Structure formats: C-alpha cells, structure tokens
Amino acid sequence: MSSLLFENPVRWGMLSVGAIVVAAAIARVRPSKRTGRAVLAVAAAGLAGLVLQLTVQTARERLIATCVAMAGDVERGDLDRLADRLDLSLNAEGMDRERFLDAARRTLTHYHPEEPRLARFEVTLEAEDRAVVVFDATCRVVTSTQVLDRILTRWRLNFLREGDEWRVRRIEMLPAPNSPLSKLSDVLP
C-alpha cells in the first residue's frame, strides 16, 4: 500500500482516473448535487495523492537514491563524498572503513568506471533504523589499455539510519550471472 500511495505516480494516476470515471458514470446515471460533489471529491483525492507522492520520499526511495548517489561518487572518483555515506564501523568483506577507502583509491587510479546503471533493487527494511539493499550494477570500465563494456556486479549493502541519513554499515559483493566478479577482492585487489 505504501508503494501505491508514495512511490508510483503512474499507478496512482491510473487508479485515480478509474475512480473518477466510475464516479462520473454514477453521477450521470443518478444526477444530483450529491453525486456531482462526489465526482469532485474523487478528483481532489486523486490530485492530493499525486501531490503527496511528489513531496514525500519513503525510506525505500531514500535508500535507492543513496545507492545511486554512491555509484555516482565512484564514477567521479569522489571518495570523500563516498566516505560520508559509510558508517564508521563499516565491514566490507573483512576490510574496515579506512582499508576499504584505501583499496578503492588504489583501484580507481587504474580503473575508471563510467556510466553506472543500477537495477533490480530489493529493499528490506529490517527495523526503523536498519535496512538491506540488494541490486545489480553495470558499467563500462576504462583502463589505460582497454575498455570493458557492461561489467555486471551484484551487491548487498546493509544500512543503518543516523537521523535522516542512511549510512552503509556492511558491503558484500554477490555472484552475478555470467560475471567473473563475485567478491569484493575481485574489484578491490
């Protein structure tokens, strides 16, 4: 229900139009001030729902936006901004936060990811302040000697909410179909 109310304007619009059509049909069969007002009320509720969707961002939407922003941080090589999104107690397959950032810096001097695309998000809210996000990422990787297109990886990120911000507490790379990359050490040697 939360998805319909807050995250899907197309479905909400279809539902609203359907409700308006039904209300208008009833008003046409039984014309009165009351049925006319009902049509206006249904239309107002549809518009209010659309405004609500455009102004409210759910935890799921925030988590997905954070993942997309992190991919952008990596593409730009902005590891300082990426570090702001990581919890101080980060565990990245055995690496702490500093070791992870050092490995990322070393890797990004040789490999330059471009055009990251994230898809197939699975968001699980475990508690009000904890969540797990699993997703696929594809990108082009450019080195000094070659360009590798459509590199596919799959990720699991555990998040902890601190105030209004979600921070990554754990990073795990998962096996992805037809990808030779299946663990973080494949990406960050």
DSSP designation for 129: T
Q: Where are the domains of the chain?
A: 2-55, 59-187
Please compute, for residue 184, the number of CA atoms within 13 A of its CA located in the half-sphere on the CB side.
18
Query: Model pTM?
Result: 0.76
Contact 61, 7 (CB under 8 A): yes
Residue 13 sits at the vertex; the CA angle it makes with 9 and 19, to the nearest 5 degrees, is 145
Q: Name the pLDDT band for 187 (thresholds 50, 70, 90).
A: confident
Rounded distance between C-alpha atoms, residue 17 and residue 20, angstroms: 5
Q: Which of 21, 28, 67, 64 is nearest to 46 (CA)?
A: 21
List of residues 6+ apart from 28 with CB closer than 8 A: none
What does the pLDDT look like over 115-129, one tens digit per residue? Answer: 999 999 999 999 999
- Tell me the CATH architecture of domain 59-187: Roll (3.10)
Region of poorest pLDDT, from 6-20, 33-47, 133-147: 6-20
